[in-house]
Amino acid sequence: MGTGKITVIANLLEGMRIHLRIGIAAAFASVMIPLTLGMVGYLYHNNANLALETATQSMTKASEAIVQDVDNLLNPAARVVEAASVLMRIDRGALRRPDGLRYFYEQMEKLPQIYSLFIGFGADGSFYQVIRLPESLKSFGPSARPVPEGARHALRLLDGSSGDWSDSFIFLGQWGDVRGVDRGPGKFDPRVRPWYKSAWEDSATRISDVYTFASTGQPGLTVSKRAATESGVEIGAIGADITLDALSGFLAQKKIGQEGRVFILDGQGRLIGHQNPELAVRMKDGKVELLKAVDVADPIVADSARLRETGLGERFTAALGPDGQDYMVSFTPFPKAFGKDWVIGIAVKELEFIGPLRQASLRILAAGILGIILAALAINWLARLLTRPLQQIVGETERIQRFELEGDAAVRTRIIEVDELSVAVQNMKRSLRSFSVYVPKDLVRLILSSGKELQTGGERRLLAIMFSDIKGFTQNAETMPPEQVLESLSEYFKHMSQAIHSHKGIIDKFIGDAIMAIWNAPQPDPDPMGNACRAVLACKAAGARLEAEFARRNWPSFFTRFGLHAGEVVVGNVGSQDRMQYTALGAEVNLASRLEALNKLYGTQLLVSETVASKLHDRFLFRMIDHVVPAGMSRPFAIFELVGELEPGSAFAATDEDKERCQQWEKAFNSYAAHQWDQAWDGFRGFEKAYPDDGPVRVFIARCKGYSMQPPPADWDTAQRLDHK
């Protein structure tokens, strides 16, 4: 083949474009990725199932071990209590003597989890106790004196052996080593304590509910058993105290994994055991109160308890804590021998059980990925060739959906369908850009985001409605060339539109040189009246800047009057299926238009209704102008002039002079409203001297002069009834 022919073929191939369907089929048919990934996925799935099965078995064994350990914690205390109960039945006097309490002392030395061992007699309320003194305890005993130095235990003897009923505390370093004695009146009665009552509920060894120990004020529980004669006559009860601190210390030693939790809940869902004892209780009104597990500061425990209450059962796996990591959770009932419906909870990260197996699975996955790297490189190049233009087009459509229509959607590709799609998107973008100048942009965004077909109809909604009109525009337009009228009006509308849009308003329509704008539609606005007031003030400021610019060009100035009202109207699509307009309808719309027209009568620029002024009186400065009944309406309403914003530092903040002007006006107006015509006339004349350019003052001076000569009826409501629009 000649060089010339090869060049021709190369040029043809270079200019060739392929179909997207053919390109995707060729890319994925050239490699065996689905088969490879399927094999690796199968192995990974089997390993994952094996890991979960192993984790479940490990969790079950861990739960059983913790339950057994807790049982081993409490059972020795129960055995001591049961042995003392037998001794108490055989020799009631042995445990009433200090030497007889040595048995309790020796048992506590063997069982560090026990805080105290004690006996209470039912006949006279005598009470004998051996207490292990915590190192943190600073004072103890009936006199609340400092704990004697070196004292590790205390014997408490509550009886009448000394002649008077007294409560004696003997502080010991070790047995026989007395470090101090403290005595006080006997006020304690063991027979009313929870542990005593619990012991006499039945003949079995019992565990009390968690309560506050009388001696230290700390929470704990008591293992107790009643003592009775062979015939069942009450002798008393034996008890062993175990503090929640001791229980929590034990649970801390049984921690599973790096971040596992071991905890105990009572039958009411309260946390009575945790590695951190401070989480289980809080002080309320000077008393210790147990917390519900769902309210504790440990998110793992709180989430576990909450999910259990929602019905997930006693064993489940769920995402817990702020990081949302998967934990395996198990709740196991407390040993039934103690008669409590408590449960022992365990929560361990799933990864701590299945981590090694999962790592092995990941190694298999890595080996599979390594085997398809070469194929993936080839597919990546081809996928990039195929998908990059599509991603660009998707980005363009997303920008169009957000109504960001600037620029062109230029996408270069050799794929025919993608190129045609790019051209279609570009044409759509240009069409929407042209269409958007005829309707409010917020409305177009709403139409595009809804994805629904437009239909006629509307909804009732509270809107703020503004009408504006240029003073003397018709006369000015007659003296200007049409091109200049178009240019100046376009410049005017541009600045007014910017002021309205920047304060969340939309322009409903242009009516010649007039503007109708609304707030709170089509998108909701939490502050439609406030935004509308700021927009009107911004329009006023923009109009002042335009006056200077038009004067520089030797154009007639545009002085704009504004009317603002708020009320419930019907807003929606009006028209037919082939031509619609989004607008607001109702009497409140007409009232906003009437307000704009009233500016001519009073010589004002910014008039608002009483609805707006009463709602925003604490945020904007308003001046009461009058009560009127426009033509075609029956009820009077108040109209106000919008002066400025009360917030300091605002771009439209009212000045001190504005506030002084409004105060001076209010004094004169109050006299007018009270039918004090001479006093009102003097007030308005003084106001006119201070503010000679004010429009409303001239109206009220003329009224006061007329009313002073021919007063209105005494029952006149001061409303001006107008006979023309």
Counts of helices then strands in the chain (DSSP H, E): 19, 27
* Structure token digits, residue 253: 């030693």
* Cα 58 to Cα 357: distance, rounded to the nearest angstrom: 14
Q: Does domain 73-241 have CATH number 3.30.360.10?
A: no
* Structure token digits, residue 282: 């809080």
Beta strands of 383-512 (E only): which ranges? 457-470, 506-511
Instruction: Identify the band that residue 18 occupies on the pLDDT scale cut at 50, 70 and 90.
Output: low
**Which residues lie across from 241 on neighbouring strands?**
116, 222
Torsion of CA 54, 60, 65, 66, to 10 degrees: 120
* Cα 608 to Cα 199: distance, rounded to the nearest angstrom: 80
Instruction: Identify the band that residue 333 occupies on the pLDDT scale cut at 50, 70 and 90.
Output: confident
Percentage with pLDDT > 90 across the chain: 28
Judging by DSSP bridges, how do beta strands 606-609 and 514-519 pair with one another?
unpaired
What's the burial of 310, exposed, middle or buried (CB within 10 Å: 0-12/13-18/19+)?
A: exposed
* Structure token digits, residue 185: 């009146």
Helices (H), 410-481: 416-435, 441-450, 473-478
Instruction: Identify the band that residue 409 occupies on the pLDDT scale cut at 50, 70 and 90.
Output: low
pLDDT score for 582: 80
Question: What superfamily would CATH give domain 457-654?
Answer: Nucleotide cyclase, GGDEF domain (3.30.70.1230)
| Stretch among 56-60, 201-205, 219-223, 368-372 having the lowest mean pLDDT | 368-372
Predicted TM-score (pTM) of this structure: 0.47
For the chain, residues classed under CATH 3.30.450.20 are: 73-241, 247-353
**Which residues lie across from 154 on neighbouring strands?**
131, 171
**Which residues lie across from 243 on neighbouring strands?**
220
User: Residue type for 88, please?
Assistant: M
Q: Roughly how many angstroms between the first and final C-alpha of the chain, as a whole number?
A: 93
pLDDT score for 13: 45
The helix or strand, by DSSP H or E, that contains position 526, with its residue range, turns out to be: none
For the chain, residues classed under CATH 3.30.70.1230 are: 457-654
What DSSP line would sit under 120-180, residue for residue?
A: EETTT--EEEEEEPPTT--EETTTTEEPPTT--EEEEEEESTTSS-EEEEEEESSTT-EEE
* Cα 584 to Cα 79: distance, rounded to the nearest angstrom: 85
* Cα 397 to Cα 405: distance, rounded to the nearest angstrom: 10
* Cα 637 to Cα 566: distance, rounded to the nearest angstrom: 13
* Cα 208 to Cα 499: distance, rounded to the nearest angstrom: 74
| Stretch among 56-65, 138-147, 466-475 having the lowest mean pLDDT | 56-65
SS3 699: helix
Cβ neighbour number for residue 252 with a 10 Å cutoff: 13
- Pick the more confident residue, 170 or 254: 170
pLDDT score for 376: 64
Judging by DSSP bridges, how do beta strands 560-576 and 579-585 pair with one another?
antiparallel
What's the burial of 557, exposed, middle or buried (CB within 10 Å: 0-12/13-18/19+)?
A: middle
Instruction: Identify the band that residue 506 occupies on the pLDDT scale cut at 50, 70 and 90.
Output: very high
- Pick the more confident residue, 717 or 680: 680
User: Could you tell me which residues come within 8 angstroms of residue 319 by beta carbon, excluding any fewer than 6 positions away?
Assistant: 325, 326, 327
SS3 84: helix
pLDDT score for 383: 62
pLDDT score for 9: 47
**pLDDT tens-digit profile of 101-144?**
888 888 888 888 888 898 999 888 889 899 998 888 888 888 88
Contact 270, 264 (CB under 8 A): no
**pLDDT tens-digit profile of 260-317?**
888 888 888 888 888 777 777 776 766 667 788 888 888 989 999 999 989 888 888 8
* Structure token digits, residue 32: 């065996």
* Cα 266 to Cα 270: distance, rounded to the nearest angstrom: 5
Give mean pLDDT, residues 334-347: 78
- Pick the more confident residue, 116 or 432: 116
* Cα 193 to Cα 124: distance, rounded to the nearest angstrom: 15
The helix or strand, by DSSP H or E, that contains position 675, with its residue range, turns out to be: none
What's the burial of 94, exposed, middle or buried (CB within 10 Å: 0-12/13-18/19+)?
A: middle
Mean residue pLDDT of the chain comes to 81
User: Residue type for 659, please?
Assistant: K
**Which residues lie across from 653 on neighbouring strands?**
645
Distance (Å) of CA 255 to CA 62, 238, 659: 10, 32, 71
Q: Which fold is adopted by the domain 247-353?
A: Beta-Lactamase (3.30.450)
* Cα 377 to Cα 386: distance, rounded to the nearest angstrom: 14
* Cα 119 to Cα 131: distance, rounded to the nearest angstrom: 12
* Cα 280 to Cα 149: distance, rounded to the nearest angstrom: 31
Beta strands of 321-413 (E only): which ranges? 325-333, 343-349
Instruction: Identify the band that residue 371 occupies on the pLDDT scale cut at 50, 70 and 90.
Output: low
**Which residues lie across from 290 on neighbouring strands?**
281
* Cα 151 to Cα 135: distance, rounded to the nearest angstrom: 10
